[in-house]
Amino acid sequence: MTFLSLAAPAMLAAGLTFTTPEGWRQSAPASSMRVAEFTLPRAAGDAEDAILIVYYFGGQGGGVDANMQRWIGQMQQANGQPSSASARKESRKVNGLAVTLVDVSGTYVAEMSPGAANRNNKPHFRLRAGVVETPKGPYFIKLTGPEKTVTKWDRAFDQFVSSFKVQ
């Protein structure tokens, strides 16, 4: 895997640009559905890095609420309560773009790949995800990793989201 270090804005499909936070490592997207992929180095004591992926489906991909519910459903709570009870949702305007975000911790149980029967089983994980609505359709951002690692990168994630622009 090749890692690139970007400190300048990167242009993506349909004209979305952003600034890559210092310390994030960009790699070539693993599939055509991904327009950007980053590794966020692990915090001390965590067993793995966090991964942030930016998806663009050419204007497709479902509505904001459906995606929020799907992401929340990828996390399970140890106490058996629904993750929707502890998920934090936020909507904001970023450079004229509507951005809706969700933040939830728990056991990450998403499918290993779309449609697969095998699922992750990663306790003490955190998921931060969002939909960026642009004139050419939505972008989807998904950050997953050990809770401590994702927390380490909270400020950088917020700076990343705040840098979104359409060219």
**Domain harbouring 12, CATH code:** 3.40.1000
- State the alpha helices, DSSP H only, in the chain: 64-72, 147-152, 154-162
Domain range for residue 72? 3-17+24-166
CB 15 within 8 A of CB 59: no
| Exposure of 143 in the CB half-sphere (CA atoms within 13 A) | 31
Reading the block at residue 55, the tokens are 């998806």
In tens digits, the chain (167 residues) has pLDDT values of 444 444 455 655 567 899 999 999 999 888 888 899 999 999 999 999 999 999 998 888 888 999 999 999 999 999 999 999 999 999 999 999 999 999 999 999 988 777 778 888 899 999 999 999 999 899 999 999 999 999 999 999 999 999 999 98
Reading the block at residue 129, the tokens are 């995800």
What is the reported pLDDT for 2? Answer: 42
Q: How many domains does the chain have?
A: 1
Which whole-number Å values give the CA distances from 120 to 35, 107, 110, 145, 154, in the listed order? 23, 9, 6, 12, 23
What is the reported pLDDT for 13? Answer: 55
What is the reported pLDDT for 4? Answer: 44
What is the reported pLDDT for 117? Answer: 80
